[in-house]
């Protein structure tokens, strides 16, 4: 074992490339897209370092060109879940006993691989598999995952450096951060490749072994992530990637005595079911499992009458419609003052009408397809309802078409009631609902925002009046785990805005911070006495 107090490289946020016409990165990304479109990928599971293929092959298609075949993945069964758990547990001893700087080096290398030779391949996979435009892919599957990997190494070193401040003469007090006993289950979503990469690697970095199940609609880019991790030197069995249906995975994993924790991003309903299942099986486990989850949001932007209308409109359209509103942080409800609404309405409608909608290969398109037909049908049903509802008015958009791809036109609904269904329920698509309030009802509107939704993920206030900003910041302190002033409610950056919410939005363990990594270790206090007493008697017992 090497000897030394090692300092990790100081992380900085990965620069965002522009992909402007004529740029080198634009040419390389277009080449990566062409290469991926010309091939049919054969995507195995990865269990104990082995590529595992089955007779159950499932096709993968771009959401924006659902007739095009990207390839197939091999769906696993119950036995593959058990194999993945066994492989993880077999790898556990060697991995957790590996010096921390060696674990760090694996993930620092992975970051450099993504920032360099794998950047365009991973971005292209995200664009094609999840229908993200070039910019949305760049900030996700290049910059954010690189930031997660680099900053997490720094946070790990800081955690290990935290030691008891006092060791009285003759003693030495130490604190060890142990990996959890057992394995961690990472259950990851479709909408961010960075989240899919961070959930298994953050736990693995701290010495844990992982069984990773991505969303089916993210498997195409998950495969590239696994290629990166293997190239970076992740030992066999440390991260095991499986493609199985959720209920079967839960049935096996949540009954296993060595289940030590779950790292989850997904729907509130699924997370609540997971929590309930863990509780029902609590007597089975070697230790109490860590439950870390980031779930849904019904994220808000509240505009004060002092706001700059152009700044408000830009925050609204970017916050609501980037990546088709399929961010858990996306703005889906807006509260606009009556005095500014005419100007805001014109700006928003003009912006939305200017959007180009189409496939990701055409870089002029700002809006692409929603993730799959199930999502399309759900969103279309809400639009049909709004068209016929006297309490709603669609002022722009409202159409949809799934002939070539799952396209929902960006839509703005004006609700006549603050409790209208699209003001309250999470839709996860390019549908924004606005409620117009009387300027004099500012304080009541803040209470309304706080009480409308079960969620508390992100929110924003747009105002020039500092007293109004202070009021909103205080009144909405429990309504959003990430709160923005004069900005859109999306775009959290690792190392700058740790991300997560409370209430129905999750456990608020803040991805991209030390807070999250602390959930994947179990501290042990060690006290060493150099000259121990040899007589049990204390001075107070003397009789003279």
In eight-state DSSP terms, residue 450 is: H
Residue 58: CB atoms within 10 A of its CB come to: 14
DSSP for 217-259? GGHHHHHHHHHHHHHHTPPTTSEEE----HHHHHHHHTT-TTE
Cα–Cα distance for residue pair 437/452, rounded to 1 Å = 15
Catalytic residue among 14, 138, 294, 361: 294
Cα–Cα distance for residue pair 26/9, rounded to 1 Å = 29
Give the distance, in angstroms, between the CA of residue 453 and the centroid of all CA atoms in the same chain: 20
Both structure tokens of 119: 């950047």
DSSP for 16-58? PP---TT-HHHHHHHHHHHHHHHS-EEE-EEETTEEE--S-EE
Cα–Cα distance for residue pair 377/38, rounded to 1 Å = 29
Question: CB–CB of 514/159 below 8 Å?
Answer: yes
> What is the chain's Cα-based Rg?
25
Instruction: Check if 544 is active-site.
Output: no
Both structure tokens of 300: 């808000």
Q: What CA–CA distances, in Å, run from 407 to 63, 138, 411? A: 9, 22, 12
Strands (E), 75-140: none
Residue 224: CB atoms within 10 A of its CB come to: 24
Q: Computed from CA positions of residues 49, 200, 296, 359, in that sequence, does the dihedral angle turn out positive or negative? A: negative
Residue 28: CB atoms within 10 A of its CB come to: 17
Residue 387: CB atoms within 10 A of its CB come to: 12
For the chain, percent helix, then strand, then coil, each to nearest 5?
40, 20, 35
Question: CB–CB of 449/479 below 8 Å?
Answer: yes
Catalytic residue among 138, 143, 144, 328: 328
Instruction: Check if 361 is active-site.
Output: no
Strands (E), 410-486: 411-415, 431-437, 455-456, 458-462, 482-485
Strand 71-74 to 57-60 pairing: antiparallel
Residue 203: CB atoms within 10 A of its CB come to: 31
Phi, psi of 246 (to 5 degrees): -60, -50
DSSP for 332-386? EEEEEETTTHHHHHHHHHHHHHH--BS-TTSTT-SB---S-HHHHHHHHHHHHHH
Both structure tokens of 85: 């758990």
Which residues are the active-site residues? 294, 328
């Amino acid at each position: 074992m090497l000897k030394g107090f090692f300092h990790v490289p100081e992380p900085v946020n990965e620069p965002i490339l522009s992909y402007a016409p004529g740029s080198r990165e634009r040419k390389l990304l277009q080449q990566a897209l062409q290469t991926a479109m010309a091939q049919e990928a054969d995507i195995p599971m990865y269990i104990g370092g082995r590529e595992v293929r089955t007779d159950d092959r499932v096709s993968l298609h771009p959401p924006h060109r659902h007739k095009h075949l990207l390839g197939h993945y091999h769906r696993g069964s119950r036995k593959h879940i058990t194999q993945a758990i066994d492989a993880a547990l077999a790898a556990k001893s060697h991995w957790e006993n590996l010096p921390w700087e060696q674990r760090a080096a694996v993930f620092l290398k992975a970051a450099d691989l993504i920032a360099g030779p794998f950047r365009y391949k991973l971005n292209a996979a995200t664009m094609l598999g999840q229908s993200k435009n070039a910019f949305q892919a760049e900030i996700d599957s290049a910059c954010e995952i690189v930031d997660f990997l680099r900053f997490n190494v720094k946070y790990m070193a800081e955690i290990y450096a935290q030691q008891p401040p006092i060791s009285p003469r003759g003693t030495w007090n130490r604190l060890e951060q142990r990996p959890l006993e057992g394995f961690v289950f990472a259950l990851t979503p479709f909408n961010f490749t960075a989240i899919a990469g961070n959930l298994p690697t953050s736990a693995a970095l701290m010495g844990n072994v992982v069984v990773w199940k991505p969303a089916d609609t993210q498997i195409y880019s998950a495969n590239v992530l696994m290629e990166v991790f293997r190239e970076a030197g992740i030992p066999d069995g440390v991260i095991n990637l499986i493609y199985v249906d959720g209920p079967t995975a839960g049935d096996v994993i949540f009954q296993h005595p060595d289940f030590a924790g779950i790292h989850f991003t997904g729907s509130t309903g699924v997370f609540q079911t997971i929590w309930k299942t863990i509780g029902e099986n609590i007597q089975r486990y070697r230790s109490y499992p860590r439950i870390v989850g980031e779930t849904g949001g019904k994220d808000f932007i509240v505009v004060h009458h002092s706001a700059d209308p152009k700044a408000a409109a830009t925050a609204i359209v970017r916050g609501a419609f980037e990546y088709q509103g399929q961010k858990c942080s996306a703005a889906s409800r807006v509260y606009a003052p009556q005095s500014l609404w005419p100007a805001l309405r014109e700006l928003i409608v003009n912006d939305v009408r200017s959007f180009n909608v189409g496939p990701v290969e055409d870089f002029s398109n700002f809006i692409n397809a929603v993730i799959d037909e199930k999502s399309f049908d759900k969103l279309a049903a809400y639009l049909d309802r709004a068209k016929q509802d006297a309490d709603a008015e669609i002022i722009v958009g409202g159409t949809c078409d799934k002939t070539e791809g799952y396209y929902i036109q960006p839509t703005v609904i004006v609700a006549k009631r603050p409790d209208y269904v699209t003001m309250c329920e999470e839709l996860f698509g390019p549908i924004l609902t606005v409620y117009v309030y009387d300027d004099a009802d500012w304080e009541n509107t803040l209470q309304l925002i706080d009480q409308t939704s079960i969620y508390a993920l992100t929110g924003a206030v747009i105002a020039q009046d500092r007293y109004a900003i202070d009021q909103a910041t205080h009144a909405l302190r429990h309504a959003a785990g990430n709160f923005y002033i004069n900005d859109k409610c999306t775009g959290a950056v690792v190392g700058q805005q740790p991300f997560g919410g409370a209430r129905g939005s999750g456990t608020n363990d803040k991805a991209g911070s030390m807070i999250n990594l602390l959930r994947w270790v179990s501290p042990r206090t060690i006290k060493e006495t150099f000259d121990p007493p040899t007589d049990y008697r204390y001075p107070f017992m003397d009789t003279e």
